[in-house]
Amino acid sequence: MQRSSGTPLYKKVFEELKSKIDSGYYEIGDLLPSENDLCKMYFTTRPTVRQALGDLSNLGYIVRQHGKGSIVSEPKNGLGILSLKGSTAGVGKHDLRTSMITKPVRRPWPEKFDFELSAEEKELGSVYLSRLRYVDGLPTLFEETYISDKNLPRFTMHNLAKNSLFDILKNYHQVEVKEGEQRIWAIEASLELAKMFDIEANKPVLHMKRRLKTNTKNLFIYSFLYCNTQDFFIQDYF
């Protein structure tokens, strides 16, 4: 297992075991290797392995039974949309389907914008798109995205209903997210959101405003997300 510089080893063990569960390598009901075996597999100590297993247990991926070990369980309905890896990576085993509300289009920035824009960004304009994401068939995430329109030739030709935004930016435009900030609070669903999510108006929904910095100067990604948490809770790990 390759260890990234600065990444705690317990987190690498956690991520690799979680990936194997998500991919089906370890199925529901399977017994994970013993702590001793995991120590040998990852060349680490028992406290490190126990910390990784503890995080898996907290997220509902395993049940730890005394005398038996760690058993893979059905993860709870948690979505990792707080991660900067994006919604596609955050849904785990859940089925994700995307409906384009607005296909990518170039347009000026809104007169009133929730984030401060640089002079270059204002001059460049933005690429705007909006998507409704269905998780296991339920309308769960509505996302409006603005991207600084810098060095993105033919970007509006991409199919954002079937492909990850972050993957497209990386593979076709060499743009990668480096860091970001996000603001989160609960709001009452508007009539438009209630209709979109098929819930009663004024029901609480999670609202997130996100600004992501990329490896290209003055190319930022701004997302405004609304999450229906009637059937899912929001989770992440650090």
Average pLDDT on 35-41 reads: 95
Average pLDDT on 137-152 reads: 94
Banded model confidence at residue 23, pLDDT cuts 50, 70, 90? confident
Average pLDDT on 7-19 reads: 89
Pairing of the two strands 204-214 and 220-227: antiparallel
Least confident of 11-20, 85-94, 175-184, 202-211: 85-94
Higher pLDDT, 65 or 193: 193
Distance CA 92, CA 98 (A): 15
Average pLDDT on 134-142 reads: 89
CA atoms within 13 A on the CB side of 35: 17
Higher pLDDT, 60 or 36: 36
Q: Is the pLDDT score of 121 beyond 90?
A: yes
Domain(s) labelled CATH 1.10.10.10 in the chain stretch across 9-72
Q: Encode pLDDT of 50-97 as tens digits.
A: 999 988 887 778 988 888 899 998 665 566 555 555 555 555 556 788
Give me the CATH code for the 9-72 domain, please: 1.10.10.10
Exposure string of 112-123, with b = 16+ CB inside 10 Å and e = fewer, is eeeeebeeebee
For residue 16, what are its two tokens? 């690799």
Banded model confidence at residue 175, pLDDT cuts 50, 70, 90? very high
Q: Is the pLDDT score of 8 beyond 90?
A: no
Least confident of 11-20, 161-170, 226-235: 226-235
Domain(s) labelled CATH 3.40.1410.10 in the chain stretch across 78-234
Average pLDDT on 182-198 reads: 93
Task: Tell me the three state secondary structure of residue 219.
Answer: coil
Q: Encode pLDDT of 99-120 as tens digits.
A: 999 999 999 999 999 999 999 9
Q: State residue 73's pLDDT score.
A: 85
Report the percentage of the chain scoring pLDDT > 70: 87
> What average pLDDT does the chain have?
87
Give me the CATH code for the 78-234 domain, please: 3.40.1410.10
> How many angstroms separate the Cα of 8 from the Cα of each of 1, 19, 26, 204, 230?
13, 17, 23, 36, 34
Distance CA 99, CA 118 (A): 31
Most confident residue range from 6-15, 52-61, 215-224 = 215-224
Q: Is the pLDDT score of 5 beyond 80?
A: no
Q: If we measure between CA atoms, which residue out of 208, 175, 172, 205 comes closest to residue 87?
A: 208
